[in-house]
Amino acid sequence: MKRKKWLFMIIPVAAVVVIAIGALIKLHIQTQMILTDYYSVFTNDKYKTPVYVDGVEVITQDVSCGYACIQMFSAWNGGSVTEQSLYDTYGKVITSTGKKFCSEMNKQFPEYKTTMHKYGPNAELIDLMYDNLATGIPMPFEWAAKYGDDWTLHYSLLVGMDIPNNKITIANPYGYIEEITVEELLSRTSFEAYENMPLFFKMAFAVGIFEKNTVFTVSR
């Protein structure tokens, strides 16, 4: 009887371990599939003209980066949605996942269509970003960012791309404009830059709560 009891306890635990390992293997494969060569963008005539969206005012988030990005987009769009108004509406932060963030963008800005693109290969990601900015609309995206000494999953607004000069401009709701290289951008959208990622965070990616190389195209 005791042996049967142990079996009943061990089998579910073993099943969970197997599922977790399988999910981590799938995540590794997905990650390798997005880490594609992107150097052709530097010689592609399409990207020779820099693109930049004016009028995005950077704020320092008080509630959450997702709400802050919606506030920055709203102010750029001539609206009045704020972090506080969103928090007062829901009583909590509801934009922690990409799917929920996308849904809230569509709810707050029905004059636009926001579409989530996840696990895009590097060159494809650059193309989506460039095309979106070329229409004159800032673009929300997910990436790894440091808050002090700690890495986090973070939302920001892409506002400029000057590929010939290897310069990407981002409105970061930590309160500043950030200028980085294409290489650093992709290192952070893929979360390869996230040093010593905790296992629980890896599992969140593995089971699909969070996604890598994720952007949100916004079109009229």
73's tokens: 């987009």
**Global confidence as pTM:** 0.90
Q: Is the pLDDT of residue 5 over 60?
A: no
Q: Any idea what the Cα angle at residue 169 is, between residues 172 and 134, rounded to 5°? A: 115
Residue-level pLDDT at 33: 85
Model confidence pLDDT, tens digit, residues 8-67: 556 565 555 555 676 667 767 888 889 999 999 999 999 999 999 999 999 999 999 999
Q: In a 3-state reduction of DSSP, which class is residue 133?
A: helix
> Cα-atom radius of gyration of the chain, to the nearest Å?
20
Number of separate domains in the chain:
1
- The one-letter code for the residue type at 3 is R
**57 DSSP assignment:** P
Model confidence pLDDT, tens digit, residues 158-197: 999 999 999 999 999 999 999 999 999 999 999 999 988 9
CB distance 139 to 215 below 8 Å: yes
Residue-level pLDDT at 89: 97
| Mean pLDDT in residue range 124-142 | 98
Per cent of the chain over pLDDT 70 is 89
70's tokens: 């919606």
- For 55, the domain range is 2-219
* Domain CATH number, residue 212: 3.90.70
Q: Any idea what the Cα angle at residue 113 is, between residues 93 and 176, rounded to 5°? A: 55
Residue-level pLDDT at 6: 55
